[in-house]
């Protein structure tokens, strides 16, 4: 399968992407890909260093005739989101991504592809490896752990980089030039509940799956189904008769949850009512989401009865809290049309053996609105008696419409493609805002090839878009301003 990828155009880009995707690189487990990148830099004979948190920097001098141009930083993150379909057998810790070509798209077999941000990493590698591409002095910055906390960008100290311009290659629409992004904070509620003996009756496992999922920033505006909220509706319809034994919904903080599984026990005399309410609520959910989530399925199977279930008072408090907790768009930006300003993703819920955990990721391009959303969630969970922790704060990136590098990219894009680019801020978290704290004078811009379905097993990268993007990159490098 990798050979089909390696034969795609532009070959330098796809070959480096294939090399990279052979290396397991989950967030917070980047040791192998860090060593891979250090070995790559050393093999080219370039100055290569790893900073104290694990970021890798490779420095390449300007090509002949480009010595008078401003030095640039080309930046992408090494880690990737690990998501797979429930029926896919795959070990992200040991296996390379299994890719294939599907028309104009490159996809993976039942897993995330890693195009986010592997195509950016591969771009930089291809440029470092080339002896024919014209470019100014380059500092290639490969950060770690972007997807689960941006700790690489946070830990990058000032003074390591000398470049005046930063090209962040992490935007996912090829007609878009990014000039701003949202900040974020993790809101985590934890609590305990009384585990009581399960009543006599029948136990059932309810499996809700088949949702699209996706990026909890970029895709939140689409109104896609959230498996945790949907499952809660099924439980709420039966909150007096279906006694929860365990629940597991969602997996990653920055991915819209696609699946949820709960085990409940129903007393014998309540089974007919349970079946009726399940059918009614399932029908309502399928009808509501039939256009957005055609793959939604809800399966109920009889299973052996567990020993304990959640006490009724705790169960009602839990269901009410999840019902009241906001999910989705909280506020649209009044400054930029069509931009989500503030949102929340109820990303992961786990409940078992007397303990529960609810993980949310709140995003906003306005810090005060982010704080308001976090306070709203805190109030809801506090009323349920849970402990709430706020962590992983990272800042947004404020747009600078007078950016000199923005003007260069706008003119080049229009000249190459015969139309103006979409200059926009995004609701995702990019590392530019964090990097700008320690490098406040750096002129920053973000762009990239078209990638769809990031953070889900439906992730795919457009082949034709990669060709368009590669041409754009080469023109940008030739047109970096003189010092």
Domain of 301: which CATH number? 3.30.70.360
pLDDT score of 298: 98
Q: What pLDDT tens digit does each residue of the chain (483 aa) get?
A: 578 999 999 999 999 999 999 999 999 999 999 999 999 999 999 999 999 999 999 999 999 999 999 999 999 999 999 989 888 999 999 999 999 999 999 999 999 999 999 999 999 999 999 999 999 999 999 999 999 889 999 999 999 999 999 999 999 999 999 999 999 999 999 999 999 999 999 999 999 999 999 999 999 999 999 999 999 999 999 999 999 999 999 988 889 999 999 999 999 999 999 999 999 999 999 999 999 999 999 999 999 999 999 999 999 999 999 999 999 999 999 878 899 999 999 999 999 999 999 999 999 998 899 999 999 999 999 999 999 999 988 888 888 899 999 999 999 999 999 999 999 998 988 899 899 989 998 999 999 999 999 989 999 999 999 999 999 999 999 999 999
User: Is 193 found in the same domain as 328?
Assistant: yes
Last residue of a domain, one of 394, 409, 436: 394
User: Is 94 found in the same domain as 11?
Assistant: yes
Domain count, the chain: 2
Q: What is the pLDDT of residues 247-303, one digit of tens each?
A: 999 988 889 999 999 999 999 999 999 999 999 999 999 999 999 999 999 999 999
Q: What is the pLDDT of residues 29-55, one digit of tens each?
A: 999 999 999 999 999 999 999 999 999
- CATH number of the domain that residue 174 is part of: 3.40.630.10
pTM for the model stands at: 0.78
152 contacts: CB under 8 Å, gap ≥ 6 = 53, 54, 55, 77, 78, 143, 144, 145, 146, 431
Nearest-angstrom CA–CA distance, 408 and 394: 28
Q: What is the pLDDT of residues 431-457, one digit of tens each?
A: 998 999 899 989 999 999 999 999 899
Per the domain annotation, does 346 fall within a domain? yes
For residues 250 and 347, the answer to whether their CB atoms sit within 8 Å is yes
pLDDT score of 11: 97
User: Is 94 found in the same domain as 222?
Assistant: no
Per the domain annotation, does 483 fall within a domain? no
SS3 assignment, position 66: coil
User: Is 342 found in the same domain as 467?
Assistant: no
DSSP secondary structure string for all residues of 185-206: EEEEEEEE--EEEPPSEEEEEE
Last residue of a domain, one of 394, 413, 441: 394
pLDDT score of 86: 82
Nearest-angstrom CA–CA distance, 295 and 286: 9
Structural domain span for residue 46: 2-181+396-478
User: Is 419 found in the same domain as 299?
Assistant: no
Active site residue 287: no
Last residue of a domain, one of 394, 415, 435: 394
Strand 56-60 and strand 47-50: the pairing is antiparallel
Per the domain annotation, does 262 fall within a domain? yes
Active site residue 79: yes
User: Is 168 found in the same domain as 225?
Assistant: no
Nearest residue to 145 (alpha-carbon basis) of 219, 215, 82: 82
What are the Cα distances from residue 290, in Å, to 62, 206, 225, 275, 452?
54, 20, 10, 22, 21
CB atoms within 10 A of CB 43: 10
User: Is 305 found in the same domain as 175?
Assistant: no
User: Is 438 found in the same domain as 349?
Assistant: no
73: DSSP letter: E
Per the domain annotation, does 339 fall within a domain? yes
User: Is 23 found in the same domain as 54?
Assistant: yes
CA-based end-to-end distance of the chain: 45
Q: What is the pLDDT of residues 220-244, one digit of tens each?
A: 999 999 999 999 999 999 999 999 9
Per the domain annotation, does 375 fall within a domain? yes
Catalytic residue among 146, 173, 176, 341: 146
DSSP bridge pairs for 197: 308
Catalytic residue among 30, 79, 176, 458: 79
User: Is 292 found in the same domain as 258?
Assistant: yes
Per the domain annotation, does 125 fall within a domain? yes
Nearest-angstrom CA–CA distance, 73 and 59: 9
69: DSSP letter: B
Nearest-angstrom CA–CA distance, 200 and 212: 37
User: Is 174 found in the same domain as 195?
Assistant: no
pLDDT score of 430: 87
Per the domain annotation, does 414 fall within a domain? yes
pLDDT score of 1: 54
Q: Angle, to 10 degrees, between the axis of helix 11-21 and the axis of helix 115-129?
A: 120
Nearest residue to 162 (alpha-carbon basis) of 77, 78, 37, 61: 61
User: Is 163 found in the same domain as 82?
Assistant: yes
């Amino acid at each position: 399968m990798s050979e089909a990828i390696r034969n795609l155009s532009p070959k330098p880009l796809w070959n480096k992407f294939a090399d990279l995707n052979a290396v397991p690189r989950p967030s917070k487990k980047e040791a192998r890909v860090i060593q891979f990148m250090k070995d790559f830099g050393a093999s080219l004979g370039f100055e290569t260093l790893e900073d104290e948190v694990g970021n890798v920097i490779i420095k390449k001098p300007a090509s002949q005739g480009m010595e008078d141009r401003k030095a640039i930083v080309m930046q992408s993150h090494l880690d990737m989101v690990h998501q797979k379909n429930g029926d896919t057998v795959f070990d992200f810790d040991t296996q390379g991504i299994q890719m294939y070509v599907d028309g104009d798209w490159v996809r993976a077999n039942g897993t995330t592809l890693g195009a986010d941000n592997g195509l950016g990493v591969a771009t930089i590698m291809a440029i470092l490896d080339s002896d024919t591409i014209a470019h100014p002095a380059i500092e290639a910055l490969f950060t770690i752990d972007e997807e689960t906390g941006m700790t690489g960008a946070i830990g990058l100290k000032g003074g390591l980089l000398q470049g005046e311009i930063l090209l962040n290659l992490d935007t996912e629409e090829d007609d878009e030039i990014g000039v701003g992004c949202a900040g974020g904070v993790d809101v985590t509620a934890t609590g305990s509940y009384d585990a009581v003996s399960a009543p006599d009756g029948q136990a059932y496992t309810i499996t809700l799956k088949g949702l699209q999922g996706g990026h909890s920033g970029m895709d939140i505006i689409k109104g896609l189904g959230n498996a945790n909220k949907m499952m809660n509706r099924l439980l709420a319809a039966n909150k007096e008769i279906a006694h929860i034994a365990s629940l597991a919904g969602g997996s990653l903080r920055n991915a819209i949850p696609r699946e949820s599984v709960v085990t409940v026990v129903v007393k014998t005399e309540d089974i007919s009512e349970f079946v009726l309410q399940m059918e009614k609520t399932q029908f309502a959910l399928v009808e509501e989401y039939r256009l957005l989530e055609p793959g939604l399925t809800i399966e109920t199977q009889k299973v052996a009865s567990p020993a304990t279930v959640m006490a009724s008072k705790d169960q009602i408090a839990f269901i009410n809290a999840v019902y009241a907790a906001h999910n989705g768009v909280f506020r649209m930006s009044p400054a930029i049309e069509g931009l989500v300003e503030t949102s929340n993703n109820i990303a992961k819920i786990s409940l078992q053996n007397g303990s529960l955990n609810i993980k949310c990721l709140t995003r906003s391009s306005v810090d005060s609105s982010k704080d308001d959303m976090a306070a709203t969630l805190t109030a809801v969970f506090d009323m349920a008696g849970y402990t709430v922790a706020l962590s992983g704060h990272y800042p947004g990136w404020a747009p600078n419409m007078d950016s000199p590098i923005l003007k260069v990219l706008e003119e080049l894009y229009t000249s190459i493609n015969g139309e103006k680019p979409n200059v926009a801020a995004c609701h995702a978290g990019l590392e530019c805002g964090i990097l700008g704290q320690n490098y406040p004078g750096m002129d920053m811009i973000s762009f990239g090839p078209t990638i769809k379905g990031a953070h889900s097993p439906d992730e795919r990268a457009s082949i034709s878009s990669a060709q368009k993007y590669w041409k754009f990159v080469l023109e940008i490098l030739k047109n970096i301003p003189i010092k």
